[in-house]
Structures are given as structure tokens and as C-alpha cells.
Amino acid sequence: MTSVLVAGGATGIGSACVQALRSTGVDVYVADLNVDAAGQHERAELPGRFRVGRHDLADPESPARAVAATLDAFGRLDGVVVTAGVHLVGPVTEYSVDDWDHTMAVNVRAPFLFAQAAAGPLAETGGSLVFTGSTAAFRGSRGAFAYSASKGALVSLTRSLAVELGSVGVRVNCVCPGWIDTPFNAPYWAMQSDPDGALGSIVERIPAGRQGVPSEVSSLVVYLLGPSAAYVTGQSMIVDGGLLSA
């Protein structure tokens, strides 16, 4: 594995994936709207090379452009990690069609389009795709129905793509984090009347007794991309400190 495209690698779990991959000598191309935040990776003295490009994943042309940019930068493609996502919350009676469509465009359509654009290059290297889902695919949450529906669709998409692309040697998996301490959850906390109390209530239900950190997700992503996971495909793996089991 020498070259990986990370979509949404500017912050949070995506940023942790970039650092973990580069630390092992993998070259990484980051596709993100927030190129300023992604630029922090350029300052890190790590073995793997780094490139960044501004890509709006709500634009249906962006995934193919990001794949082409990665190939231009590094000459090959061994993996694609899609961590970019949209989390728009609100009461069902007030939720707009535009917010629903935007959520589906980024959280479901973009991963599909990345798979479509990357299937050929990944087949040449025996590479794989890893999507970032969520435990929201398996449970309900007030105000987050569009997000939950999109992540449920991503789990199903993972299975179908694994079957479709297995014949050309491309693996497809999904990592489903629970409560990971990143700014991505800010919209949910903002919707709570008592954010601190809401967080405390959630942590009480997590057997591990705390939220996770991004590196605890990125380590699994790196494993799924690598040769040790050569017989793992079509899976949606939960990283939630045991919450769904409680």
C-alpha cells in the first residue's frame, strides 16, 4: 500500500487517518472543502508524502476529480477512505428537503461515486475502499433521522459494492464509530437543552465509560486497508466502546 485518497481528511477521524497512514510511509491525497485545516498535515514531518485539493463532495463531479488528482500526484491508487459527512439535525416537522438532499448527497452518493471512479485504479493494485458509517445506522436519535437514514444506506451500499467489486479484487468495508470526541458532533450537542447533562447521560451508558478518540477509529481503518485484512470485505465494524451491546 503506497497511495491512499482520504476524502474529508481535514479534521477529526479523517485527520487521524491521514496521520496514521503517513506515519507508515503511505502517500496521502486529502480531498476536502477545508483546505486550510487540511494544510496542517503539510507541516508534519512524516515519511509519507502529502497533497491536498479543494473538493466539494456535494458536487457529483468531485469524487472523479479527486481520484484523478491522486493518480496525478502519486501515479497509483491503493486505497480510498471516505470520512467526509454531513450531520444536520432538527425537528422532523421543520426539516427541509434541501437539508435532506444535501445529507444524502454527501453521505451516500459521494461514497458511491468514489467507488465508481476508483474501481478501475483499485483493481490494478488490489486496493480497497473504507467508508465511515456510524452507529446511527443501527439506532434512532432525536432530530438525526436524515443522518441515520444515510448511514443505514451506507451499510447496505458497502455490502453491495463488496459483492460487485470482489470479482476484480477490490475489497469494500465500513467503520461505524459511536461517540467519538470530535467537532463533528457539535450540531447534536447544540440541539440539547443541557449539553453537559446529555453527554454525561450518554457516557454513563457506554461500557468503556468514555467517548472514543479519533485514533481509535483510524487504527481500524488502516488495518482494513492493509494486507492483514485481505479476507475481510462487505463488513460494517462498530467502534463504540460497547454502547450498542449495553
Catalytic residues: 147
For residues 58 and 214, give the distance between their C-alpha atoms in angstroms, rounded to a whole number. Answer: 24
Beta bridge partners of 54: 32
DSSP per-residue string spanning 159-208: HHHHHHHHTTT-EEEEEEE-SB-SGGGHHHHHTSSSHHHHHHHHHHH-TT
Do the beta carbons of residue 22 and residue 47 sit within 8 Å?
yes
Helix 215-225 with 12-23: angle, nearest 10 deg: 50
Q: Which segments of the chain does DSSP mark as H helices, in order?
A: 12-23, 35-38, 62-74, 97-104, 110-125, 145-166, 186-190, 195-205, 215-225
Neighbours of 29 (CB within 10 A): 27
Q: Residue 34 has what DSSP assignment? A: -
Coil, strand or helix at 212: strand
Q: Which amino acid is at 46?
A: L
Rg over CA atoms, the chain: 17
